[in-house]
Amino acid sequence: MEDEKGTYPRIRKAVAADIETVHKLVNFFANEGLLLPRSLSELYEHLRDYFVLEMDPGGIVQGVCGLGICWNDLAEIESLAIAEAQQGKGFGRRLVEECLKEAGILELNRVFTLTYVPEFFRKLGFKEIDKSLLPQKIWADCLKCPKFPNCDETALMIDL
């Protein structure tokens, strides 16, 4: 990660103590119909998938983004959420870039996302794809979505 310890705001790997705040942040946007809801148990189980935005030492987490590994060469950017007071400051970009950097380290060649803000991801180099190109394994998450099977999100992918 590019942020040095002690430099704020910073992006860092999530720790267990972050999960209750991450849960509130993600589910705030899920209640708005913008993200898939996540349970506490699911967030704890996938703790290693998440990066968080920390504004100051000991401060409340103000953003989150996950990198879910789907297959041998495929990952998903998921649960990107930035507290409303911190939006528009480049923190979403930094969180996604940190996930993409980790995907490269893990030798995952392709990263996709399903989103209601495709323009944000296009600016990062993602290209729109047809959802049918995504493997069936991915649709396990979709089954949990209240909008399934009438998904109105845009699918985008980036090749690393």
Q: Tell me whether residue 104 is in a domain.
A: yes
| Nearest one of 46, 44, 53 to 8, comparing CA atoms | 53
Q: Tell me whether residue 50 is in a domain.
A: yes
108 pLDDT above the threshold of 50:
yes
Q: Are 111 and 125 in contact (CB under 8 A)?
A: no
Quote the domain boundaries for residue 119.
10-159
3 pLDDT above the threshold of 90:
no
4 pLDDT above the threshold of 60:
no
What three-state secondary structure class fits 105? helix
130 pLDDT above the threshold of 70:
yes
**The two three-digit tokens of residue 112, written as one number:** 């996709």
Q: Tell me whether residue 2 is in a domain.
A: no
Domain count, the chain: 1
The model's pTM: 0.89
Mean pLDDT of 95-121: 96
**Model confidence pLDDT, tens digit, residues 24-54:** 999 999 999 888 889 999 999 999 999 999 9
Q: Tell me whether residue 3 is in a domain.
A: no
Q: Tell me whether residue 94 is in a domain.
A: yes
**The two three-digit tokens of residue 150, written as one number:** 């009438």
Supply the CATH number for residue 58's domain: 3.40.630.30
- Cα separation, 116 vs 112, in Å, equals 13
User: What are phi and psi for residue 38, nearest 5 degrees?
Assistant: -130, 135
**The two three-digit tokens of residue 144, written as one number:** 């949990």
